[in-house]
Amino acid sequence: MSRNTAAGRPARSSIVELPPPPAEGQSVGGIEVQRGARWPRNSTRWVAGGALLVVVLRLPYLRTPLRSDEGGFLLVASQWHPGSALYGSYWVDRPPLLIAFYAIADRLDGSTALRLMGCGLAFAVVLLAHHLGRSVTRRTYAWPAVLAMALLALPYGGALEVNGELIAAPLVLLGLLASVRAVADPVADRRWRLWATAGALGTAAAMVKQNFLDVLVFGTVLVVAHAWTADRARGRARRVVTELGALGVGAVATAAGVVVGAWTRGTTPAGLWDAIVVFRLDASRVIASSASSATDVRLRYLLLSMCLSGSVAIGGLFAAHAVRTWRQPLVTATVVLLVWELLGVLAGGSYWLHYLVGLVPGLVLAVALIAPRPGLLGSAARRVTACAAIAALVTAPLALVVAPPSHAVPPAASWLRRHAKPGDTATLLYGAPNVLQAAGLASPYAELWSLPVRVRDPRLTHLESVLQGPDAPTWLLASHDLATWGVVSTSAFAVVSSHYHAVASVDGYTVYHLRDALPEGER
């Protein structure tokens, strides 16, 4: 790393080398900068305006029905207490801070509060992207904030759903910000505090969604790469050990606090390990061996969305930049971060669109590093970012016209509301827990999503015991048969036939009612 001097003293070190803005008439990368051309800079007012625009574009969806994950997490959070499953009466493969976030939404107002909290998260992501860009370059260009705004506003980017990725994104950006400031700070005490803060934020993000280890991965690489390129080898090992130690202390302390807090509500450490680590490995094997063709369709849509949003182009431009500047610590750490985030999107095998929000921190950092630079790469990065923003501003309002958001309750939930009596329960096979949440009915079966059924109860033995037990659900909703990929359900057919009676067909579901509690007129 280069060191500038002023008055004979070393100046504060910079972790990224950026050239000064080109002057008019200067040739940059073989292209002459024309008279009147402006090197784009931002103002806080414009960045705040972009953040507010993201909120405005989300407001039409404020009162739309919750999606599957949103409704399911809200249902789990509403009854989180010591019980028979990981989270009270239900099991889900997610860490406790995610459920705690939804518990706050449930305490406030449920679905509307959740959507308003999502607006706040999107606003925070744009502002944090701006501050991260300033910390990286020591300049005030708006491109990182513009890209964050575009990626969160695109209707095909998956960001409209308030899911783990959106909840964790501000924590990741804060952790990256602390890491960047820590490595550039000349005062050892402040560096250690910043690294401990980064570790705490990194673990907090992972306690929202377990693959969000972005800050810990980025921070570790940044510490090692910075020490490796330091001018003086003396004290290099000591600095690496102390800074990684501070990062680890913050991470471990936060993890311990979250685990203990969850334990007080009946969620055991062993249960969490099984849910957020062991289950994910088992689920990957099940998906790889028996997933339906719908998984391949989702993958194609995911890759198409990555291309249309500019994510692939930004990644390619940064890769070209990294080939020449890989020795810069921040470039090395950003390359590793982007690879890690891409693995998080693709390695799980489910390919839901909201996974793409997990790419936002790395892409923001990449744009912060290349957009301010003169030359072809910088110009291309600015153009791609601008095109992504324009696409968001065009397609988001267009989506409201072509497919206006519906405020109607899901038909199956509406049907259950009309026919269920106080004290009734319901189980829906497989997945769509938002229907149960909208209907206001609890389920005696702990598995609310389809993937846990396929991994934890593939022969439906637990389901069969529930259907035949004293707490059998009053209502059972299933697709027109009980078959689905990854599930062997031969004996479950007989159990349903002997204990339940089909009473309706609603929105693709066959509705069964417990024979011992048939409604009048059906006995």
Is 2 inside any structural domain? no
Residues with Cβ within 8 Å of 18's Cβ and at least 6 positions away in sequence, in order, are: 137, 138, 139, 372, 373
Distances (CA, A) of 480 to 68, 209, 474, 507, 510: 20, 33, 18, 11, 6
Q: Are residues 433 and 356 in the same domain?
A: no
Average pLDDT over residues 240-263: 96
The per-residue pLDDT for range 147-191, each reduced to its tens digit, is 999 999 998 888 899 999 999 999 999 999 999 999 988 888 899
The per-residue pLDDT for range 413-440, each reduced to its tens digit, is 999 999 999 999 999 988 899 999 999 9
Which of 81-90, 294-303, 308-317, 402-411 bottoms out in mean pLDDT, i.e. has the lowest?
402-411
Is 11 inside any structural domain? no
Per-residue pLDDT, 228: 83
User: Which of 402, 435, 452 lies at the terminal end of a domain, its last residue?
Assistant: 402
Please, which pLDDT band fits residue 32 given cuts at 50, 70 and 90?
A: very low
DSSP 60-102: GGTTSPP-HHHHHHHHHHHT-SS-SBTBBTBB-SS-HHHHHHH
Res. 490: pLDDT tops 80: no
Q: Are residues 390 and 439 in the same domain?
A: no
Per-residue pLDDT, 232: 62
Burial status of residue 378 (CB atoms within 10 A of its CB: 0-12, 13-18, 19 or more): buried
Q: Are residues 317 and 454 in the same domain?
A: no
Q: Is 486 left (phi over 0), alpha (psi -120 to 50) or beta?
A: left
Q: Are residues 376 and 419 in the same domain?
A: no
Is 55 inside any structural domain? yes
Per-residue pLDDT, 353: 93
Q: Which two tokens stand for residue 465?
A: 């015991």
Q: Are residues 397 and 415 in the same domain?
A: no
33: DSSP letter: P
Is 31 inside any structural domain? no
Phi, psi for residue 298 in degrees, rounded to 5: -60, -35
Percent pLDDT > 70 in the chain is 89
Please, which pLDDT band fits residue 479 given cuts at 50, 70 and 90?
A: confident
Greater pLDDT, 18 or 424: 424
Please, which pLDDT band fits residue 233 given cuts at 50, 70 and 90?
A: low
Q: Is 192 left (phi over 0), alpha (psi -120 to 50) or beta?
A: alpha
Average pLDDT over residues 353-358: 95
Is 13 inside any structural domain? no
Q: Are residues 266 and 313 in the same domain?
A: yes
> Taking the chain, what is the end-to-end CA distance rounded to the nearest angstrom?
82
Q: Which two tokens stand for residue 64?
A: 């739309």
Res. 33: pLDDT tops 70: no
User: Which of 402, 435, 467 lies at the terminal end of a domain, its last residue?
Assistant: 402
Q: Are residues 369 and 262 in the same domain?
A: yes
Residue 402 and residue 61 in contact, taking contact as beta carbons nearer than 8 Å: no
Res. 8: pLDDT tops 60: no
By C-alpha distance, which of 242, 272, 247, 243 is closest to 260?
272
Per-residue pLDDT, 137: 80
Average pLDDT over residues 97-122: 95
Res. 42: pLDDT tops 50: no
Per-residue pLDDT, 91: 96
Q: Is 8 left (phi over 0), alpha (psi -120 to 50) or beta?
A: left
Question: CB count, 10 Å around CB of 68?
Answer: 19
The per-residue pLDDT for range 50-74, each reduced to its tens digit, is 899 999 999 999 999 999 999 999 9
Q: Are residues 82 and 194 in the same domain?
A: yes
Res. 484: pLDDT tops 70: yes
Counted domains in the chain: 2
Phi, psi for residue 217 in degrees, rounded to 5: -65, -50
Residue 417 structural domain: 411-517
Is 469 inside any structural domain? yes
Across the chain, mean pLDDT equals: 87
Q: Are residues 236 and 334 in the same domain?
A: yes
Beta strands 426-429 and 5-6, pairing class: unpaired
Q: Are residues 265 and 315 in the same domain?
A: yes
* Helix pair angle (236-263, 96-108), 10° resolution: 50
The per-residue pLDDT for range 207-229, each reduced to its tens digit, is 999 999 999 999 999 999 988 87
The string over 323-340, giving b where at least 16 C-beta atoms fall within 10 Å of a residue's C-beta and e elsewhere, is eebeebbbbbbbbbbbeb
Q: Are residues 346 and 485 in the same domain?
A: no
User: Which of 346, 379, 402 lies at the terminal end of a domain, its last residue?
Assistant: 402
Please, which pLDDT band fits residue 274 given cuts at 50, 70 and 90?
A: very high
507: DSSP letter: T
Res. 26: pLDDT tops 80: no
Average pLDDT over residues 493-515: 91
Residue 62 and residue 112 in contact, taking contact as beta carbons nearer than 8 Å: yes
Res. 38: pLDDT tops 50: no
Per-residue pLDDT, 231: 57
Is 18 inside any structural domain? no
Res. 5: pLDDT tops 50: no
Beta partners for residue 428, in sequence order: 477
Is 33 inside any structural domain? no
The string over 15-46, giving b where at least 16 C-beta atoms fall within 10 Å of a residue's C-beta and e elsewhere, is bbebeebbeeeeebeeeebeeeeeeeebeeee
Q: Are residues 212 and 302 in the same domain?
A: yes
